[in-house]
Amino acid sequence: MVEKENKVYSRPAIGTSLLAFGFILLIGSIVLGISVGAAHIDFQTVWRSIFHYDSTREADQIIVGIRLPRELGAAIVGAAFAVSGAIMQGMTRNPLADPGLLGLNAGASLALACVFAFHPSATYLSVMFVSFIGAGIGAGLVFGLGSLRPGGMSPVRITLAGAAVSALLSALGEGMALYYKLSQDLAFWTAGGVSGTNWLQLKLIFPVVVVGMMMAIVLSKHLTILSFGEEMAKGLGQRTLLTKAVLMTVVLILAGAAVSLVGPVAFVGLMVPNIVRYLVGTDYRWIIPCSAVFGGILMVLADTAARMVNAPYETPIGAIVSIAGVPFFLYLARKGGRK
């Protein structure tokens, strides 16, 4: 293996145990998330209602009808954000890359404003499709701007480009929202988090995210090579343009699906892959699955926290995540600027 001799350092033992441990933690946090809340439910009841569902019991209806889809939604969305962040960081070799900071969220919000304004009766599927397109436009603008100049993908350029594109797209979205008087609908969606996630939405989003994940895992070896730099990847015989295009598509599928369900959440895609990379090394065959699991955990815990902090009101999940994520961003920015 070429990359083994190179600077990839991979820790399969840690990776395997991290994955196993992560799965247990994920299931634990989902159970915890289900059992705490307005109606406190003990673990046995959770177990019983999932595996021996009885529609006549009220607790079972709450758990299977409301809490379980919500927790599953959080897990799927967290996994999708984390994997798309991991791919972006590998592609751009920029540890600060995150779908939220790079215009995807703002693009999706603008697209949603358009849907609410011009086609209010749109089905959930078409809303999801439109937010893909919006996310794609946002990301395309940021990457286009960031790479206009040779050597232009530096952290500072791409972050600034992200800030500017986000400002523009969200201003346009806000303007439309004001004009068509939909601020409240949009604010509801923006701050709504995973509350109200239902099985129908999960049925639509689950296959999309699974396809994205499969593609990410299949491509993870190419991503590892690409993360050495474009020259090196070309030297190793990779068709870098094609790889990049496919990877970008995966990012859009994952982040677009996640944004369409949960609204704009930044920093999950930033934090998780960085922590995972620190633990398992620079081999994306480990980084991607581990990021998926830990992204899910982070989002489930954040959602539980969002319900607990100011109960009975829900705190916007994006705010919870960004308050946790910003110190992390600052740490990376200090480290990155040191060179």
Partner 1 sequence: MINSDRLKRVRFTMISALFLLLALFVISVATGYISLSPAQLARTILGQGTSKENLILFDFRLPRIIITILAGMGLAVSGSILQSITRNPLSDPGVLGIHAGAGLMVVFYVMFFTAESTNFLYVLPLFALLGGIFAAAIIYILSYLKGEGVDPNRLVLIGVGIAAAMNGAILTLSTRLEREEYDFFANWMAGRIWGDDWTFVLALLPWILLLLPVVLAKSNVLNILNLHEHVSVGLGVHVERERLILIFIAVALSSASVSVSGSIPFIGLMAPHIARALVGPRHQWFLPIAAVLGAILLLAADTIGRVILDPSGIPAGIVVSIIGAPYFMYLMAKK
Whose Cβ is closer to partner 1: residue 35's or residue 159's? 159
For residue 337, the minimal CB distance to partner 1 (Å) is 3
**Strand, helix or coil at 63?**
helix
Burial of 86 (0-12, 13-18, 19+ CB in 10 A): buried
Q: Does 318 bind partner 1 (CB under 8 A)?
A: yes
Pick from 2, 27, 167, 241 the residue near partner 1 by CB under 8 A.
167
Cβ neighbours around 334 below 10 Å, total = 9
Which of 83-91, 132-140, 225-233, 310-318 is the region at the interface with partner 1 (rule: CB under 8 A)?
Answer: 310-318
Which of 53-61, 81-89, 220-228, 319-327 is the region at the interface with partner 1 (rule: CB under 8 A)?
Answer: 319-327
Which of 36-44, 200-208, 278-286, 312-320 is the region at the interface with partner 1 (rule: CB under 8 A)?
Answer: 312-320
Q: In the stretch 111-150, what mask flags binding to partner 1 with x, by CB under 8 A?
A: ------------------------------x---x--xx-
Whose Cβ is closer to partner 1: residue 61's or residue 183's? 183
Enter the tokens of residue 254: 């994952």
Whose Cβ is closer to partner 1: residue 235's or residue 327's? 327
Whose Cβ is closer to partner 1: residue 4's or residue 338's? 338
Q: Does 49 bind partner 1 (CB under 8 A)?
A: no
Burial of 123 (0-12, 13-18, 19+ CB in 10 A): exposed
Whose Cβ is closer to partner 1: residue 79's or residue 165's? 165
Whose Cβ is closer to partner 1: residue 7's or residue 338's? 338
DSSP for 205-252, please give it.
HHHHHHHHHHHHHHHHHHHHHHTT-HHHHHHTT--HHHHHHHHHHHHH
Backbone angles phi, psi at 99, to 5 degrees: -55, -30
The radius of gyration computed from the CA coordinates of the chain, to the nearest angstrom, equals 20
For residue 188, the minimal CB distance to partner 1 (Å) is 11
Query: Could you give the CA distance from residue 330 to residue 302 in angstroms, rounded to a whole number?
Result: 20
Query: Could you give the CA distance from residue 212 to residue 248 in angstroms, rounded to a whole number?
Result: 11
Whose Cβ is closer to partner 1: residue 147's or residue 238's? 147
Q: Does 179 bind partner 1 (CB under 8 A)?
A: yes
Helix (H) or strand (E) holding 48: helix 43-51
Whose Cβ is closer to partner 1: residue 31's or residue 275's? 275
Question: Can you tell me which residue has the tokens 């499969």?
Answer: 214
For residue 301, the minimal CB distance to partner 1 (Å) is 17
User: Do residues 176 and 114 make contact, with C-beta atoms less than 8 angstroms apart?
Assistant: yes
Nearest to 57 by CA among 71, 41, 72: 41
Backbone angles phi, psi at 148, to 5 degrees: -65, -35
Give residues in contact with partner 1 (CB under 8 A): 96, 101, 141, 145, 148-149, 155-157, 159-161, 163-165, 167-168, 170-172, 174-175, 178-179, 183, 191, 266-267, 310, 313, 315-316, 318-323, 326, 329-330, 333-334, 336-338
